[in-house]
Amino acid sequence: MSAVTVIAHRGASGERPEHTLESYRLAIAQGADYIEPDLVMTRDGVLVARHENEIAGTTDVAVHPEFADRRRTQTIDGETLSGWFTEDFTLAEIKTLRARERLPELRPGNTVFDGHYTIPTFDEIMELAVDARVGVYPETKHPAHFTALGLSLEQLVLRTLDRHGYGRPGAPVFIQSFDPVNLRLLRGLTRLPLVQLLEHELGDLSAVASYADAIGIYKPLATAAGVNAAHASGLQVHVWTFRAENEFLPEDLRIGVAPATHGRLAEEIERYLDIGIDGFFTDFPAIGAQVRDARR
């Protein structure tokens, strides 16, 4: 059987606040094949790792009185959001913030780390990856939005990878995006593997295969027929996101009724591996690595 790829979703985000160097370090120690940073941009053109460019839920920005006047409302990719946005801050200002747990009710154990960790740059993450000899799986977040602001991500992502020796053919890299325009642009700039993220439907897989090397799909899309169709089009299939809490598990794999209690995540991963997926994103890479290793 070919190797299964374990992608540490925002690091070991089930055990540390997401998108922190400490979350990535733990994921590496637990055996992840790739660490996954979501990339957004600062006002002065630096890539940093946050789930979204709106940072109220993942940092302590709301308790910084010096930034109170930065709170605003804007529409991004058709969604109206209110809060604080990375493109309104310089890197120096971002570095005064501290990370917070995004899901405190489901992950109260992670809240003990609130305020401990800074917001990492992509360069810092790459330094960690190089030292650990681990793969990186960056996602370009809202590329059209940033391009409209004069802060295009594509060239900067590629230059950063290249600067750290990950721009060469065969380097352990996947670049992912929901935006096919972004991926088509990247295809004209690099031969590194590209991943089309899909949430609602698989669509025309042959068209996707013209510019991407893999699809990253939401779990409900991962049927045996869909996986087979993707493989027939020459696409790898990576599935997101596997989490241990009952809140995210099917009913038959839950333990008890409390949403935050951990259920039988390993069994859920096994079910998807049985239909032939090539890799998976997980907030709990230790469990993912155990399942992967048991299949070798």
Catalytic residues: 9, 51
Helices 265-273 and 285-294 meet at what angle, rounded to 10?
50
- Give dist(CA 235, CA 224) in Å, integer: 14
Rounded CA-CA distance 7/284 in Å is: 10
* Structural contact between residues 255 and 264, judged by C-beta atoms closer than 8 angstroms: yes
Supply 210's token pair: 């013209």
How far apart CA 236 and CA 214 sit, in angstroms, is: 4
H helix runs in the chain, sequence order? 21-29, 91-94, 122-132, 143-148, 154-163, 180-187, 205-208, 224-232, 265-273, 285-294
Reported as half-sphere exposure (CB side, CA atoms, 13 A), residue 176 has a value of 24
β-partners of residue 121 are: 48
* Distance (Å, whole) CA 82 – CA 248: 27
